[in-house]
Amino acid sequence: METVTCLHGFSQFGESWEEVTSLVGGDRRWLAPDLEAHTPAGAVAEVVGLWDGLGIATSHLVGYSQGGRVALLTALAHPERVRSLVVIGAHAGLEGEERRRRRAEDLALADRIEREGIDWFAAYWASRPLFVGLARRGPAFLARLDAMRRRNRPAHLAACLRGLGAGATPPFWDRLGEIRCPTLVVAGAEDGRYLAFAQRLCEAIPAAGLAVVPRAGHAVHLERPEAFAALLAEHLAAHCRPA
């Protein structure tokens, strides 16, 4: 039985993958850990430590947004452990002035989360334009997402922003050519900024293909789970070992 490990985005938990994993199904072992690390190296070590603890030699690896960066870094640091790779709404680090600006924004947000608390953060994060597409899922789904966000500890979120955020992670675009496993890069058609990142990832990773999901924004697997599950099922079927 092959293993598929799914890495959540900032402020989420492993349970955010439950809908997708139930749709894909199959004779697979699914892992969706709640990541606790606050640095890129620490997050990679956490993923590999999970595999080591469970006696898993190799795994397919799926990551969304912040989890997508961790998945890319894991594939670079431990290529022998990653059978295939899928990333959603991801990039390989910001650069130049954009990184400096994002770093300042992340540090300010970290300070405010510690000052204002989790209720303020949950409302603020849900209101960001990046997540407007989630409203299509209806109020009950949004309420579940909100409840999940409110389970976070302010200190944990602040530490993630300071050490693992998009502004904190050093860019590693120049290393992506080292990734040799089959890779699927997914972006929502309505997420223009990350669609550009996805195209750049595909140009840099030798064995990468691009899937653009219509009527979806940043969180493709949450906005259109059936569409993403179909892509993931096809990818896994193509890259699983013969029985």
pLDDT on residue 27: 87
Q: Which two tokens stand for residue 178?
A: 């080292």
Domain coordinates in residue numbering, the chain:
2-96+171-239, 102-162
Closest alpha carbon to 11 in 40, 32, 34: 34
All residues at 6 or more sequence positions from 166 whose CB lies less than 8 Å from its CB, including other chains: 66, 69, 91, 93, 94, 99, 102, 106
* pLDDT at 74 (0 to 100): 98
How many residues are listed for the chain in this entry?
243
Q: Can you tell me the distance from the alpha carbon of 233 to that of 142, in angstroms, rounded to the nearest whole number?
A: 26
pLDDT by 10s per residue, the chain, length 243: 899 999 999 999 999 999 999 999 888 999 999 999 999 999 999 999 999 999 999 999 999 999 999 999 999 999 999 999 999 999 999 999 999 999 999 999 999 999 999 999 999 999 999 999 999 999 999 999 999 999 999 999 999 999 999 999 999 999 999 999 999 999 999 999 999 999 999 999 998 999 999 999 999 999 999 999 999 999 999 987 644
On the CB side of 161, CA atoms within 13 Å amount to 21
Rounded to whole angstroms, the Cα distance separating 65 from 166 reads 9
Q: Is the pTM of this model over 0.85?
A: yes
The radius of gyration of the chain from alpha carbons, rounded to an integer in Å, stands at 17
The dihedral of CA 62, 9, 25, 201: what is its sign?
negative
Whose tokens are 């892509």? That residue is: 231
**Could you tell me the two tokens for 239?**
């890259």
Number of neighbouring beta carbons within 10 Å of residue 26? 13
Query: Residue 170: its pLDDT value, please?
Result: 97
Pick the CATH number of 2-96+171-239 from 3.30.420.40, 2.30.40.10, 3.40.50.1820, 3.40.50.2000: 3.40.50.1820
pLDDT at 243: 43
Residues 165, 105 contacting (CB under 8 angstroms):
no
40-49, Cβ contacts within 8 angstroms, sequence gap of 24 or more: 40/69, 40/70, 40/73, 40/163, 40/164, 40/169, 40/170, 42/163, 42/164, 43/70, 43/73, 43/164, 44/70, 44/73, 44/74, 44/77, 44/78, 47/5, 47/7, 47/74, 48/74, 48/77, 48/78, 48/81
